[in-house]
Amino acid sequence: MLTPVDLESTVFRRGFRGYNASEVQEFMENFSHDYEKLYRENIDLKEQLEESEKKLHQYQLIEDSLRNAMVLAEETAEEAKANAIQKAEQIVREAELNAEAVKMKAKEDIQTEIRNLALLKNQVEYFKCQFKSFLGGLLEMAEKQLDLNVAWNQSPVGTSDPQKETELKAIEK
């Protein structure tokens, strides 16, 4: 590409019936001036383009970083959600197991108490039978004692009936 300096330093040779040198010179000056202006604009545009490309590259890097951050955030959120669901399921399972254990323990305790109640009922019945037997024995002894006292009081003093004395001794024992 020609530079403005190349255009200014270009010299045209005169030829037979050549061009008007002042017109060519004036045209070359105008052309050189316009070309220099375009050349500088082109340089400025190239610099702007380079700057824009650098910024675009930076924005692309930022976009990539943001995209990676979003992906990481989504993955982290999904992982946290999965962990929370897993933890909740584990808590529910443990609660169900604990509830089942408490339920089984309560059933065992109820069965134990039912057995204890049955034992106590049997003991009460046994005690009642023993107590009735004891009271029956006391009543029988009291009746024999009364019979003995009545028999003793009815016999004359000094007369003794050997059979009655044997019966009285047996009753006293």
What tens digit of pLDDT does each residue of 30-87 get? 888 888 899 999 999 999 999 999 999 999 999 999 999 999 999 999 999 999 999 9
Q: How many Å from the N-terminal Cα to the C-terminal Cα in the chain?
A: 154
Domain residues of the chain, as ranges? 4-172
As a whole number, mean pLDDT of residues 7-24 equals 73
Query: What predicted TM-score, i.e. pTM, was given to this entire model?
Result: 0.42
Do residues 142 and 172 make contact, with C-beta atoms less than 8 angstroms apart?
no
Burial 49-70 (b: 16+ CB within 10 A, else e): eeeeeeeeeeeeeeeeeeeeee
